[in-house]
Amino acid sequence: MLIGSNYRNILILVLAILVTACSSANEKKRKHQADLYFGAGTQSLMTQDFTDALTNLLKANELDPDNAGIMINLGMAYYFKGERNLAIKTLKKAMELDPGNSDAKVNLASIYFKDGDLEKSEKIYKSVLKDLTYDKQARTLYNLGTIELQRKRISAAENYFKKSVKEESNFCPSYLQLGLIEYNQKQFNKALKNFREAAMGVCYETSPEAHYYQALTLTNLKRFNEARLKYDEIDVRFKSTDYARKARLKMMEINEIEKSSSSEAHAARKILESPEF
């Protein structure tokens, strides 16, 4: 009897191991499939194919419903498809699954910002600043700066943008905003420096606005030859943008200014050369 009992116990144990192993294999297969759909959906988000993104992320979420990363991107897919309420609900679910996930918080704060709910947005962004391991704080500080710009609190906005570039020295959007603040204050030399920083590195090809404001600032400083070269560069490099059209118009204005200045100088010389009676 003891032998039979021990045999049954061993058999149950073996079966339990087999069932567990089988379950573990199925779980790994689901996770792998979820990862494939997650990757495809994320790629489609980046290329702005939001329908495809939503399709793939829904499949990923079905296979791995407790994955906060999938939930975050699914929330943004809902948002870009115009489903704001579903987006917020999904992002909040991601935050429940992973309370320390700052990406989920930032995305939720961005939706509130777009809604014009500055208080909710600000509160969430400030909570993200407490995450000492979050590697995108330059963007968080920039977003807080844009909130202050909306409130027309220029000094507070400027302070956030300065903190942003201190956090990440090549964060171009903050340099651009600093330049715009200084440009509007007619601090053209300071503005020019920040506009140049805003068009450095990877931003050189992606920020026609920074190039355009460099040219405008050079024009205001009456450095017309440098301004003309920059306008010409904009016209060539960013020819499919509205900045190229604006650059051509500004070059025409510079030509008129220089033509007018030349005519005035010529007239002044003629007056000086006229005989006195």
Residue 266 has pLDDT above 70, yes or no: no
Q: DSSP assignment, residue 203?
A: G
Neighbours of 15 (CB within 10 A): 10
Q: What would the pLDDT profile of 69-104 be if each residue is shown by its tens digit?
A: 999 999 999 999 999 999 999 999 999 999 999 999
Q: What would the pLDDT profile of 1-20 be if each residue is shown by its tens digit?
A: 455 566 666 666 666 666 65
d(CA 64, CA 30): 7
If you search the block for the tokens 């002044």, which residue do you land on?
Answer: 268
Q: What would the pLDDT profile of 151-195 be if each residue is shown by its tens digit?
A: 999 999 999 999 999 999 999 999 999 999 999 999 999 999 999
Query: Does 191 map to a domain?
Result: yes
SS3 129: coil
Query: Does 205 map to a domain?
Result: yes
Give the pLDDT confidence score for residue 29 in this predicted structure. Answer: 86
Give the pLDDT confidence score for residue 257 in this predicted structure. Answer: 84
Does an H or E element contain 200, and which? none
Q: Are 87 and 79 in contact (CB under 8 A)?
A: yes
Q: What would the pLDDT profile of 140-154 be if each residue is shown by its tens digit?
A: 999 999 999 999 999
Query: Does 103 map to a domain?
Result: no
Query: Does 146 map to a domain?
Result: no
Least confident piece of the model among 97-101, 231-235, 272-276: 272-276
Q: How many angstroms from the chain centroid is the CA of residue 107?
A: 11
Least confident piece of the model among 8-17, 225-234, 247-256: 8-17
CATH label of the domain that carries residue 209: 1.25.40.10
Residue type (1 letter), 67:
N
Measure Cα distances from 22 to 10, 25, 27, 29, 137 in Å: 18, 5, 9, 11, 43
Query: Does 223 map to a domain?
Result: yes
Query: Does 9 map to a domain?
Result: no
If you search the block for the tokens 């003891």, which residue do you land on?
Answer: 2
Select from 128, 131, 169 the least CA-distant residue to 147: 128
Contacts 24+ apart (CB under 8 A), 129-135: 131/100, 131/102, 134/102
Average pLDDT over residues 126-142: 97
Select from 258, 32, 262 the least CA-distant residue to 270: 262
Give the pLDDT confidence score for residue 258 in this predicted structure. Answer: 79
Query: Does 38 map to a domain?
Result: no
d(CA 231, CA 249): 9
Q: Are 48 and 16 in contact (CB under 8 A)?
A: no
Give the pLDDT confidence score for residue 270 in this predicted structure. Answer: 56
Select from 217, 242, 221 the least CA-distant residue to 230: 217
Sign of CA dihedral 257, 262, 266, 268: positive
d(CA 26, CA 33): 11
Give the pLDDT confidence score for residue 260 in this predicted structure. Answer: 73
Tell me how many domains the chain contains. 1
Give the pLDDT confidence score for residue 25 in this predicted structure. Answer: 76
Residue 219 has pLDDT above 90, yes or no: yes
Quick one: pLDDT band at residue 116, thresholds 50, 70, 90? very high
Report the share of the chain in percent with pLDDT over 70: 86
Give the pLDDT confidence score for residue 277 in this predicted structure. Answer: 42
Select from 242, 248, 257 the least CA-distant residue to 230: 248
Q: What would the pLDDT profile of 29-85 be if each residue is shown by its tens digit?
A: 888 999 999 999 999 999 999 999 999 999 999 999 999 999 999 999 999 999 999
Give the pLDDT confidence score for residue 154 in this predicted structure. Answer: 98
If you search the block for the tokens 């700066």, which residue do you land on?
Answer: 145
Residue-number span of the structural domain to which 235 is assigned: 170-272
Average pLDDT over residues 250-271: 71
Query: Does 47 map to a domain?
Result: no
Sign of CA dihedral 16, 22, 25, 29: negative
